[in-house]
Amino acid sequence: MRLDVALIGRHPSLSRRKARDVIEKGQVSVDGETVVAPGTLVADGADVTWDPHKRARPRARLSLPLLYADASIVIVDKPAGLLTVPSAPGRTAEDTALARVEDYARHLAQGRGFVGVVHRIDRGTSGAVTFALSHAARQALRALFREHRIERRYAVLVEGETRGDRGVVDLPIRDAYAGGKRGVARGDEPSRPALTRWTVVERLPGATLLDVDLGTGRQHQIRVHLAHIGHPVFGDTKYSREGIRHLSVSARRPLLHARLLAFTHPIIGQAVRAESPLPEDFRRALESLRTGPRRRR
């Protein structure tokens, strides 16, 4: 359950507002680690402790929704259209999720906050992104990603109706770009292994909502793999094939949403689970498909 709800369960006299307040002050710990995001999901049986005498930490507001935060890790909910990191080295003036988290960390640490990039998602992709607040956390988190010990699940709306209810795409992705795009490697092209697992969540007229689980994390992996099997991501102008776009619903970006990150905290050993709700544009597209007239293909 949410941390603020779990805290109220242990201290029924707390109001929801007061519970959020003491959590944000840094007075609440989960299994010994201070957690400052009220919406953090905590496991049944977790040791949730409130110390009302603990000195409140400096207040800092982040201009992105916090999905999880403690002394060493921050997971934010990135909107589509916002870069995760600058588009090129030195472009520090760009508005990015990294810059916003850096500003948040500077306020917390009174000017000396460290923020380390752990992974990234495309500009047009929305959802959960993790940053480290210490060198040790960054090194440990990157090891988890490298060893594929982090559960990463995406909600993806694709063109066309899949034949099966689930599938696996196990095809290497080439290292080089061709025409500004990645692609499945051919022959002896330099490449890296890539594994994508997908499951049907809902069938819609001319489209399918998938739950996608990444076995690896290559750039553009989901978009490349799904386009390769004939089901490009809805709204993906880079990898869509001409002639299969939906006739009644438009999307201004690929409808690809990083909905879940789950892993064992590398510092304290606690289970971390951050879930991002579907954004409004994704929900609107689904609703249009559900209520619109069915078209013969």
| Catalytically annotated residues | 122
Q: Is 75 helix (H, G, I), strand (E, B) or coil?
A: strand
Contact 222, 197 (CB under 8 A): no
Distance of CA 38 to the CA centre of its chain: 18
Residues linked to residue 197 through DSSP beta bridges, in sequence order: 168, 213
| Angle in degrees, 0-180, between the axes of helices 3-10 and 16-24, rounded to the nearest 10 | 110
Distance between CA atoms of 265 and 268, rounded to whole angstroms? 6
* Dihedral sign from CA coordinates of 224, 226, 231, 237: negative
- Residue 230, CA atoms < 13 Å, CB-side half-sphere: 7
- Residue 144, CA atoms < 13 Å, CB-side half-sphere: 23
Distance between CA atoms of 31 and 28, rounded to whole angstroms? 10
For residue 261, count other CB atoms closer than 10 A to its CB: 23
Name the residue with tokens 């306020």. Answer: 107
